[in-house]
């Protein structure tokens, strides 16, 4: 395609948008709403996943040993557990360390009443951290069968709840995004159809003169892609300001929950959200206009 | 240049729009096609433009077998044929220059050539000074001249004019016919569909008369045949 034909088709695409101002605005507004919702949803999901990840990192399985288990056997148990794929970290807590930690956290002024005794003498243990909390129960089953293991403490409720909520959010998001995509494509298709109707005479002349399918179709496809681009760029700007302000507000308002509510930086979200949203908008515009133009413009 | 061999065209189950038409039009010829409404003139034009495909028979234009032309080759084929219509079909939102340049833009002619060709063809049709005017600022005759300029700017070998004087007064009609004659003298084959009895009788060109899908008369230097 010659450069002047390229600019001509882009120019015609822009003119189409201008000619059908109201429909174009409606389309941009709908795509913008879709991308805005998508962006919000994405920000929430990403932050939730981050919170879940942090929570998961704190979920540990604790393994205690039978009385009289030798240090060698304890070390062997540690090695066997480390070999499991779902295990991210294994930390050995000796009886002394356990007692020191308990004293510091819980006994306060009563600590002297225990003298030199260590009530947790048989409570050396392994703290095991997981990559994936959903694998917790299978790991526990495995560890419980190992020789020398007395008991395994686990946090079943936290693990299953985090896993379920995470899956639920993912499914709901996918459903909503699917519906929004369908609505956007439908609207783009309507706008392009209207543009084709308005330019029916011009298209007929183009065909008679000998314009190729590409030259006839291209302005409408550009129109769809431009609408998609604008429709996705506008809400990204809005999301930027909304996100920054909401996060700032929440952090100031709920300082108590600071350790739990650790929000992601806007740049971490935008590094993926911007290209995905733009691709989504332009993609919706391309698909909607391409198939509509193909349907209505058989040369 | 244009050859039709036993061409039939039917729409559904009704009477055929064209019934076994055979026709030869030589390169550089000027011919009128006349006939009442429903005689098949428009169907013939649409077949030549490959807007329709014949039910049977063969059509050759500029040595191309139009009946077997692939969809992807239609645009290139149409570039060899200029068309003019009764209702001018100009783009109302564009000026004279843009209307004519449009015909070259859509077939990817380089910008510098467009800037050279448009003034030249506008001079030929006598509208060089009105290049900035919008169609609504022009008379019917002037609008038809713009349409003619648009039809010939790509130097087609054939010019099809479907009722080019249908909306014009006698003076403007004659001006358009003179332009068509001049274009023909420059080597373009011209085929004019018309109802204008006076023009057909006066110009003494080839006249092909159609009735109910059949060619009933083909005269070398003929006149308008009254069918009644």
User: What is the model's pLDDT at position A56?
Assistant: 67
Within 4-43 of A, beta carbons closer than 8 Å to B belong to 4-5, 8
Residue B118 · residue B153 · CB < 8 Å: yes
Question: Does B70 have pLDDT greater than 70?
Answer: yes
C-alpha A26/C-alpha A3 separation (Å) is: 31
Contact list in B for residue A2 (CB cut-off 8 A) is 108, 110
Are A209 and B76 an interchain contact pair (Cβ–Cβ within 8 Å)? no
Q: Which residues contact B101 (CB under 8 A, 6 or more apart)?
A: B114, B118
Helix (H) or strand (E) holding B9: strand B2-9
CA A286 to chain B, closest CA, distance in angstroms equals 21
User: What is the model's pLDDT at position A140?
Assistant: 87
Residue burial B99-116, b: 16+ Cβ < 10 Å; e: rest: bbbbbbbbbbbebeebee
User: What is the model's pLDDT at position A100?
Assistant: 81
- When mean pLDDT is compared across A2-11, B78-87, B119-128, the lowest value belongs to A2-11
C-alpha A261/C-alpha A73 separation (Å) is: 41
Q: Cβ of A209 under 8 Å from any chain B Cβ?
A: yes
pLDDT tens digits, B155-169: 999 999 999 999 899
Helix (H) or strand (E) holding B47: helix B41-48
Q: Cβ of A206 under 8 Å from any chain B Cβ?
A: yes
User: What is the model's pLDDT at position B119?
Assistant: 96
User: What is the model's pLDDT at position A14?
Assistant: 87
Question: Does B147 have pLDDT greater than 80?
Answer: yes
| CA distances (Å), origin A59, targets A47, A53, A124, A146, A175 | 18, 10, 19, 21, 30
Strands, sheet with B189-193, edge to edge from the N-terminal-most edge strand? B81-85, B158-162, B189-193, B30-34, B206-211, B214-219
Are B76 and A210 an interchain contact pair (Cβ–Cβ within 8 Å)? yes
pLDDT tens digits, B169-180: 999 999 999 999
ipTM, 2 dp: 0.84
Q: Which of B71, B103, B111 lies closest to A209 in CB terms?
A: B103
CA B4 to chain A, closest CA, distance in angstroms equals 21
List % helix, strand, coil for chain A (3-state, nearest 5).
75, 10, 15
What is chain A's Cα-based Rg?
31
Residue of A nearest to B111 (CA): A4
Grouping H, G, I as helix, E, B as strand and the rest as coil, residue A123 is coil
User: What is the model's pLDDT at position B228?
Assistant: 56
- Which letter does DSSP use for residue A265 in this model? P
DSSP B133-190: --GGGS-HHHHHHHHHHHHHTT--SEEEEESTTTTS-HHHHHHHHHHHHHHHHTT-EE
**Nearest by Cα to A99 from A85, A78, A117, A79:** A117
What whole-number percentage of chain B has pLDDT above 70? 99
Are A211 and B107 an interchain contact pair (Cβ–Cβ within 8 Å)? yes
pLDDT in tens, chain A (299 residues): 677 778 888 888 888 888 778 878 888 887 888 888 888 888 887 887 777 777 766 667 889 988 888 888 889 999 998 888 888 888 888 888 888 877 776 666 666 666 677 777 778 889 888 877 777 888 888 988 888 888 888 765 565 676 677 678 778 877 877 887 787 788 778 877 877 887 788 888 888 999 888 888 888 888 889 989 999 999 999 999 999 999 888 888 877 666 666 788 899 899 999 999 999 889 988 988 888 888 877 64
| CA distances (Å), origin B208, targets B1, B40, B48, B180 | 16, 12, 16, 17
């Amino acid at each position: 395609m010659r450069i002047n034909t390229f600019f001509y088709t882009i120019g015609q695409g822009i003119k189409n948008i201008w000619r059908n101002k109201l429909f174009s605005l409606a389309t941009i507004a709908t795509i913008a709403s879709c991308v805005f919702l998508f962006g919000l949803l994405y920000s929430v999901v990403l932050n939730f996943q981050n919170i879940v990840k942090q929570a998961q990192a704190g979920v540990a399985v604790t393994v205690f040993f039978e009385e009289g288990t030798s240090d060698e056997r304890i070390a062997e148990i540690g090695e066997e557990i480390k070999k499991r794929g779902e295990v991210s970290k294994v930390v050995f807590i000796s009886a002394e360390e356990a007692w020191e930690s308990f004293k510091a956290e819980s006994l306060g002024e009563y600590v002297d009443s225990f003298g030199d005794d260590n009530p947790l003498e048989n409570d050396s243990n392994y703290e095991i951290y997981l990559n994936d909390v959903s694998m917790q129960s299978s790991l526990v089953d495995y560890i419980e069968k190992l020789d020398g293991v007395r008991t395994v403490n686990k946090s079943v409720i936290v693990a299953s709840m985090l896993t379920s909520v995470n899956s639920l959010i993912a499914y709901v998001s996918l459903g909503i995004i699917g519906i929004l995509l369908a609505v956007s494509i439908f609207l783009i298709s309507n706008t392009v159809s209207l543009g084709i109707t308005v330019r029916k005479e011009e298209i007929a002349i183009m065909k008679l003169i000998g314009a190729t399918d590409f030259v006839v179709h291209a302005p409408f496809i550009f129109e769809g892609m431009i609408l998609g681009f604008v429709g996705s760029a506008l809400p990204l700007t809005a999301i930027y300001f909304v996100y920054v302000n909401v996060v700032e507000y929440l952090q100031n308002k709920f300082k108590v929950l600071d350790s739990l509510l650790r929000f992601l930086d806007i740049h971490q979200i935008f590094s993926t959200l911007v290209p995905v949203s733009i691709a989504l908008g332009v993609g919706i515009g391309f698909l909607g206009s391409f198939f509509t133009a193909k349907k209505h413009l058989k040369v | 240049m244009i050859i039709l061999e036993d061409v039939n065209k039917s729409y559904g189950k009704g009477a055929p729009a064209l019934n076994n038409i055979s026709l030869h039009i030589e390169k550089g010829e000027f011919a009128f096609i006349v006939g009442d409404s429903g005689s098949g003139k428009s169907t013939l034009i649409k077949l030549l433009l490959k807007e329709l495909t014949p039910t049977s028979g063969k059509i050759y234009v500029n040595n191309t077998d139009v009946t077997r032309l692939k969809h992807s080759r239609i645009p290139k084929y149409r570039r060899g044929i200029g068309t003019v219509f009764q209702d001018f079909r100009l783009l109302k939102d564009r000026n004279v220059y843009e209307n004519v340049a449009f015909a070259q833009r859509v077939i990817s002619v380089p910008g510098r050539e467009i800037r050279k060709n448009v003034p030249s063809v506008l001079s030929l049709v006598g509208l060089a000074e009105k290049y900035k005017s919008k169609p609504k600022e022009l008379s019917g005759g002037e609008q038809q001249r713009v349409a003619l300029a648009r039809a010939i700017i790509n130097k087609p070998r054939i010019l099809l004019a479907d009722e080019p004087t249908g909306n014009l007064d006698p003076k403007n009609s004659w001006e358009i016919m003179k332009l068509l004659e001049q274009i023909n003298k420059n080597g373009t084959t011209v085929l004019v569909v018309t109802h204008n009895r006076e023009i057909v009788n006066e110009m003494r060109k080839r006249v092909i008369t159609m009735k109910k899908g059949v060619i009933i008369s083909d005269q070398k230097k003929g006149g308008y045949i009254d069918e009644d």
